[in-house]
Amino acid sequence: MASNVDLILKKWHASDKESFFLPLPNDYIALSEHFICLENISSARKVLSAGLRYYPYNEDIYFKKASFLIDANLFEDAFDLLENWESINPNSLDKIFCEISLYKKLQHWQRVIELCESFLSASPKSEEVSLACADAHIELKKPEKACFYLKRVLENDLSNKEVAEQLIQLSLEQNNVDDLLEFFFALSKTNPTDAFVPFYCGLAFLEVGKILSAQEQFNLAITSNPNFEEPYIFLSKCFVSEGKQGEAFNCLYAGVSKCENSTMLRMAIGELSFQDGAYSKAIREFRVILNDDPNYHPALFWIGKCLFEEKKFLQSSYFFKKAFELADVLDYEFAYGKSEHELGNIETALSTLQKLCIKYPKKSSLWLYFSEIFYNEDQLDDAIEVIEDGLSNIPDSSSLLYRKFAYQFAQKKLKESINTLEYALALNYDKHKDVLFFFEGNIELQKAILKLILKINRATN
C-alpha cells in the first residue's frame, strides 16, 4: 500500500507547481520533509511556498519554512518570511525560536540573548532556549551568566549530564567550585533520593583533586541508584588515582553485577586492563560486547589497540579498518594508517595519512606522522615538504617547527635549521625536548642539538 507521502508525491508530479493544492496543511510539511531528505532544496521551497499561499496563517508551515531557510543559509529569505510572520502573530514563540536560530547562525550573540530572554519570560522551562542563551554568553566571554542558564536547565532536568559537565568545567575555569557545590547541595535538599546530584558533586570534587570527597559522593549515588553506571566508572578512577587497581576492578565488576549487559562498564574494564598491559584480558572484555553487538565500533577499535601493542599489526589493521568503516572517527583511521605503516604497506599508509591531513588540516599529529613515513624511507625532502604543508595550515605550531628543524639538521642544512630552531624556541622553548626524543638513541646528535639550543638561548636572553 502506498504511503501518504507517496500519494501526495504523485499529485505533486502531476500538478502545476505554482498552484499546487493539498487539503491539509501538514501534507505540505510532510512533502517538504521528503524533498529536504533528498536535498532537493528547490522543490522543498516550492512546496512550502504553495502551502503558505493556501494557508497564509498556518504557523506550522511558517515554522517549517523558516527552519528550512535558516538550515539552508538562505538568510535574506528567512528575514523576509519572519517579517511576514511578525505581522500575523508578533508574540509567537515559534517565531522567536526561529529568530534565535537565525541569529545564532549569524553569530549575533547579543541579539540571541535578547530573544532568548523574551522567549524564557513566556516559557521559562525551555531547555533548548536556555542552552542557546548559555552558549551566547559563553561566546561573549560571560561565563557567570552562562552558568546561570545552565543551572536553570539542571533545575528542570537533573538527568542532563552534558549540561552538568559543562557547568562544572565553567565553574572550575572561574575558580568558583564553592558556589557550584552550594548549588548542587541545594538541589540535593529538594531531590534527596536522586542519584544525579551526588554524582555531579563527585565529578566536581574529582576535578579539584579531592579524591576522598569524590568517593563519598559516588558511593552515595550508587546507594541511591545501584543501576546508575557512571558512578561506578568514576569511583574506579578514584581508586586508580590512589594506585588501588584491584579495588578499581572490584568496583567495576560490582557495577556489572548490578547493571547486566552494561556496555559502558565492560568498556571501562577493558580500558583499565589495557592500561595495566593485560591485553588478552582487555580483548576478552571487548569481545563480550561484540557478542551482543558485532558492530560496536569502540570495542573493535580497542581490540585493534591491544593487538597493536602486542605487535600483531596484521590483525590490528583488520580491526582498525573495520572500526573506521563503521564510523568516521579520526583515531580509527589514523590507527589503521599506523598499522599499515608497521606492516610495510607504505603506499597504503601514505594515502591514508594524506587523506586525513586534507580532512583534518589543523591536527599537527597527523602531519608529524605523515612526514615520519617519508623520513623512515630516507626521503627527507618529501618529509620537509609535508611539514611545510602542515605549517601552511598551522603556522604557529612549535611541534611542526621543531620537526622541520630536525629534518633540516639531519640533512646538514645548518643555516636553515638554525633559523627554524630560533623561531621554534621563541614560540615554545620547552618543546625542544621533542627534538631530543626524536633522535633518541643517537647520543652524539642529541648533544650537538642541545649545545646549539643552549647557544641560541644565551644569545637571545
Which among 43-47, 205-209, 248-252 has the top mean pLDDT? 248-252
pLDDT score of 13 more than 90: no
pLDDT score of 386 more than 60: yes
Residue 16 gets the label, from left (phi > 0), alpha (psi -120 to 50) or beta, of: beta
pLDDT score of 19 more than 70: no
| Alpha helix stretches (DSSP H) within 158-296 | 161-173, 177-190, 196-207, 211-224, 229-241, 245-258, 263-275, 279-292
Give the residue with greater pLDDT, 23 vs 79. 79
pLDDT score of 28 more than 90: no
Convert the pLDDT of each residue in 387-406 to its tens digit.
Answer: 999 999 999 999 999 999 99
pLDDT score of 11 more than 90: no
Q: What is the mean pLDDT of residues 323-348?
A: 97
Q: What is the mean pLDDT of residues 201-219?
A: 94
pLDDT band at 380 (very low <50, low <70, confident <90, very high): very high
pLDDT band at 422 (very low <50, low <70, confident <90, very high): confident
Q: What is the mean pLDDT of residues 330-344?
A: 97
- Average pLDDT of the chain? 92
Q: What is the mean pLDDT of residues 45-69?
A: 92
Residue 215 and residue 221 in contact, taking contact as beta carbons nearer than 8 Å: no
pLDDT band at 450 (very low <50, low <70, confident <90, very high): confident
Q: What is the mean pLDDT of residues 113-129?
A: 96
Q: What is the mean pLDDT of residues 94-107?
A: 96
User: What percent of the chain has pLDDT above 90?
Assistant: 72
Q: Tell me if the pTM is above 0.75.
A: yes
Print burial letters for 408-421: b (CB count within 10 Å at least 16), e (below 16): bbbeebeeebbebb
**Cα angle, residue 331 at apex, residues 246 and 274 outer, rounded to 5°:** 15
pLDDT band at 1 (very low <50, low <70, confident <90, very high): very low
410-to-70, 138, 406 alpha-carbon distances in Å: 53, 46, 6
Residue 175 gets the label, from left (phi > 0), alpha (psi -120 to 50) or beta, of: left
pLDDT score of 51 more than 80: yes
pLDDT band at 457 (very low <50, low <70, confident <90, very high): confident
Residue 49 and residue 26 in contact, taking contact as beta carbons nearer than 8 Å: no
The amino acid present at 49, given as its one-letter code, is: S
Q: What is the mean pLDDT of residues 338-347?
A: 96
Give the residue with greater pLDDT, 439 vs 347. 347
Q: Pick from 434, 372, 446: which is nearest to 409 by CA?
A: 446
Residue 270 and residue 285 in contact, taking contact as beta carbons nearer than 8 Å: yes
Q: What is the mean pLDDT of residues 357-377?
A: 96
pLDDT score of 20 more than 70: no
Residue 24 and residue 10 in contact, taking contact as beta carbons nearer than 8 Å: no
Q: What is the mean pLDDT of residues 377-389?
A: 95
| All domains of the chain in start order, with CATH | 363-461 (1.25.40.10)
Q: What is the DSSP letter of 395?
A: T
**For the chain, the helix, strand and coil percentages under 3-state DSSP, each to the nearest 5:** 80, 0, 20
pLDDT band at 2 (very low <50, low <70, confident <90, very high): very low
Q: What is the mean pLDDT of residues 140-145?
A: 95
pLDDT score of 180 more than 60: yes
Q: What is the mean pLDDT of residues 116-144?
A: 96
